[in-house]
Structure 1
Amino acid sequence: MRLLLPLSLLAITVSLTEGVMVCYYGSWAVYRTGDGKFDVEAIDPDICTHLIFGFAGLGWDNKIRVLDPYNELCENYGKCAYNRFTALKEQNAELVTILAVGGWNEGSTKYSNMAKNAGLRKTFVDSSIELLKAHKFDGLDMDWEYPTQRGGKPEDKVNFISLLSDLSTALHANNMILTAAVSAGKLTIDPAYDIPGMAKNLDIMNLMAYDLHGAWDPYTHHQSGLYQYPDDTGDNVYLNQDFAVRYWIDGGMPSTKIALGVPLYGRCWKLDYNTEETGYYAPASQPGPAGPYTRSPGFLGYNEICEFQKTESDWVVEIAPGMNEPYTYSYSHERIWCSYDDHDSCVVKANYAKEMNLAGMMVWSIETDDFKGKCHDRTFDLIKTLRETYSGGVITVPPPPPTTTLDPSAPTTRTASTPSTTTTTTTSPAPPPDGVCKVPGLNPDPANCHHYYLCSPNSHNGYDATEELCSSGTLYNPEAKICDWAASVCALGKYCEADCA
């Protein structure tokens, strides 16, 4: 057995033969409706080696910030999602639970300002350790998207390594691990990442080898192709998983620290009406229609795609010459065209990761797999396929131990000084409009899609509201309950009229 991590971290080591199966969880899926709703208890704790809760954020006080206190904490009759998430280890003692901080919606500016100052880094690191301990997480996933970009500065490349070094030292001292989600795009990698410095400090690097194409392109393409499409030219020759893996390794990242990311969703377009083309590079200037669960134009969960294919007869599935991944289209479904991964392409990618001596696999994200087993003879088929293929065998699922039910009203071990108890707001926040808090959790501002409000019940039979700004280029999507691409929100045609004009 070859250990990927320091010997002191006995609880979180993994054999080379089995590999890692890192599963991100998008916690806002709890707000979806119908068969798309996915809460912590829907997670199968036996299919992933590492579970990552997305996301925490960064407060303007430079402390780690709980982004949805009502869902994630226990105070004020909250739903205790953090505690329930880490309690999954009671069903699988080998499971590693990690809290991710950052994500696309957070942007880069706050992280850039924090990382450049040793004192501010210490504030962030200390508050992170305190929050992780309070809720029994095993580590932190640093998901700054991206250093030097989206409001960042050129010096972020150096400062990011200082931040990772501070985090690594503090986390390892507390028997925790440090992981990071990183870009697969060469044009992001070159300015943003000092690869040898990252290799020195990270225990696992989660390579986001997806979103390589999407509705921001005026033509169809595969968002997560393993290899270059034969007709690719220009910068598109870099936009494939094999190039990204080799580029990171050639830059100095050990292959055994790389978890290859596979998307459990599709990127979708509407084929233009003036074309009969249905392959790659078909003209497509609009995002595909939103799905019934994820409610985001240009995006469908794998569960949505496979259910459409199962219930609607005109969906065509094809694989382009020289490629391994499927794409699908339907003329009756608003001329939709989606690139995605399925059972067979997951087999190919897991075998590739094995041959490249990678640490294992990663998925974004567990709640859009076929978790109800509507399309396959088992639940979570894509995740199980990735792990079984990489490990070369079938997962043996141990019998579950007696379950423990958490009392949402019970106090946590967090002290009053923990940063997550401090309500943080943007600088000079505007008060929420009267009646903006309709339900606990995320609420839109009908008059302004550039922000939204986090609403938590208080002891006065009302709500405490915290303003959250959407990053540049995004607007709040009231259906998906996320800050989404502005074009995707405007494509819904029923929100943000002033912002979409």
Structure 2
Amino acid sequence: MVCYYASWATYRVRDGKFEVEDIDPNICTHVVYTFAGIGTDNKIEVLDPWNDLCANWGKCGYNRFTDLKKVNPKLITQLSVGGYNEGSTSYSNMAADPAKTQIFVTSTVELLKAHGFDGLDLIWEYPTQRGGVPADRKNFITLLGKLHEALHASGMILTVAVAALKSTIDQAYDIPAMVDVVDLVNVMTYDLHGPWEKYTHHQSTLYAYKDDHGDTLYLNQNFSINYWIDGGMPSTKLTLGMPLYGRCWTLDNPDQHGYNARASHPGKAGPLTQTEGMMGYNEICDFINKDSWTVVVEEGCNEPYTYNMAYGNIWCSYEDHDSCVIKANYAREKNLAGLMVWTIDTDDFHAECSTRHFDLTRTLAETFAGNETRRISQSMLESRIDGSNLR
């Protein structure tokens, strides 16, 4: 159970504020602190020194994070470098030059050791794209090899977060060459649809929707996982990525509120995450419970969506308890290494919508381990199919 932690959640308002100490270190096997970056000197860079470090009256985020192992000694703590906002150019330039690569690797190991991390998680989004060059595909493997060797020599691990889209996989990754130079591959099987499209759809659908056609048939979790496996990655090195947030649109016509409804703009920002086009699960479930937002599980689908006209004609796709049961069982059946969540700080960590804190993350972990007792109802199972006719 890999749990990413968005360190900027410390700056959220009211009940959205989430500190390192709010993480329950007994739910996850791996916790990943995001993000570090890469500096102009090609060294790993601390992006928020006041929050991450102790110097100059800082908040000591790194050290507090690795101190979670004092509560659970089996917990693996990692630092993630990269992310979408970092882009690709600086990583492309560094990986193309052996001397620059060595500077990055050496500085990374030093930083991890200094703060007691157990490994690195690399999120280069993406080799060959977003400012990258074709040579990135080969250079990415070289970079992984050097990191893997240096980290293992120091008793640490290397994991990567990778794209779920077929077009990106084809260009960015030499999958067979990756196998021996990474310990775990976290597949970002979310943001498969979103408000950058002008129609509604589920951002993390397990199987293709009945009206999907053409390239949209590739935009589902099942396709992505199978594509990684068929490409040569052992299933036992893959995690299925699960979003603990919803992707939201503003409906053009409130009378049209199903899949593929016209929606020209992102959904209104939530009160805690304050970002157009997305809401944390904690925000969505709170609106559903308190403001009676309509919840629908379309026939043939395994995930819910919700809409409400009083909140700006909003429509959000998201994951719930029952969809987490289904997808954790899917991961078991596919013999995957486990599951990954982005990010734990938008789960229902205050237990406003459930009888327990972090219900979605707990449900994923427990179901995957075979210990989930709060099973999905039979009627819900009958309405949420296994997708065998859509594979």
TM-score by length of 2: 0.95
Matches within 5 A, 1:10-29: 21-29=1-9
What is the aligned partner in structure 2 of residue 249 from structure 1? 229
Letter in 1 for 2:60: C
Counterpart pick for 1:86 among 66, 76, 92: 66
Counterpart pick for 1:310 among 260, 280, 289: 289
What is the aligned partner in structure 2 of residue 384 from structure 1? 362
Secondary structure of 2:239's counterpart equals strand
Counterpart pick for 1:260 among 236, 240, 256: 240
Counterpart pick for 2:298 among 320, 343, 351: 320
What is the aligned partner in structure 1 of residue 384 from structure 2? none
Quote the Cα distance in structure 2 between the aligned partners of 1:117 and 1:238: 35
1:237-259 superposed Cα distances (whole Å, 9 cap, x missing partner): 00000000000000000000001
Matches within 5 A, 1:54-453: 54-273=34-253, 276-313=255-292, 315-393=293-371
What is the aligned partner in structure 2 of residue 411 from structure 1? none
Quote the Cα distance in structure 2 between the aligned partners of 1:300 and 1:329: 13
| 1:87 to partner: Cα distance | 0.2
Secondary structure of 1:324's counterpart equals coil
| 1:394 to partner: Cα distance | 5.5
Quote the Cα distance in structure 1 between the aligned partners of 2:344 and 2:13: 16
Consecutive unaligned residues of structure 2, counting only runs of 5 or more, are 374-391
| 1:321 to partner: Cα distance | 2.0
What is the aligned partner in structure 2 of residue 467 from structure 1? none
Higher helix share: 2
What is the CA RMSD across the aligned residues, in angstroms? 0.9
Percent of paired sites with the same residue: 63
| 1:230 to partner: Cα distance | 1.0
Q: How many residues in Structure 1 have an aligned counterpart in Structure 2? A: 373
Quote the Cα distance in structure 1 between the aligned partners of 2:363 and 2:287: 21
Letter in 2 for 1:58: I
Quote the Cα distance in structure 2 between the aligned partners of 1:268 and 1:60: 36
Letter in 2 for 1:176: M
Secondary structure of 1:357's counterpart equals coil
| 1:235 to partner: Cα distance | 1.1
Quote the Cα distance in structure 2 between the aligned partners of 1:309 and 1:355: 31
Secondary structure of 2:225's counterpart equals helix
Q: Which runs of 4+ in 1 moved over 4 A?
A: none
Quote the Cα distance in structure 1 between the aligned partners of 2:140 and 2:370: 37
Quote the Cα distance in structure 2 between the aligned partners of 1:106 and 1:210: 19
| 1:110 to partner: Cα distance | 0.1
Quote the Cα distance in structure 2 between the aligned partners of 1:330 and 1:380: 25
Consecutive unaligned residues of structure 1, counting only runs of 5 or more, are 1-20, 396-501
Secondary structure of 2:72's counterpart equals coil
Change (3 A) 1:174 1:364: same
State the structure with more CA Rg.
1
Quote the Cα distance in structure 1 between the aligned partners of 2:59 and 2:366: 33
Secondary structure of 2:185's counterpart equals strand
Secondary structure of 1:374's counterpart equals coil
What is the aligned partner in structure 1 of residue 380 from structure 2? none
- 2:27 aligned with 1:47, yes or no? yes
Quote the Cα distance in structure 2 between the aligned partners of 1:99 and 1:373: 27
Letter in 2 for 1:276: D
Quote the Cα distance in structure 2 between the aligned partners of 1:145 and 1:320: 32
- Point out which structure has higher relative CO (alpha carbons under 8 A, 6+ apart): 1
Secondary structure of 1:77's counterpart equals coil
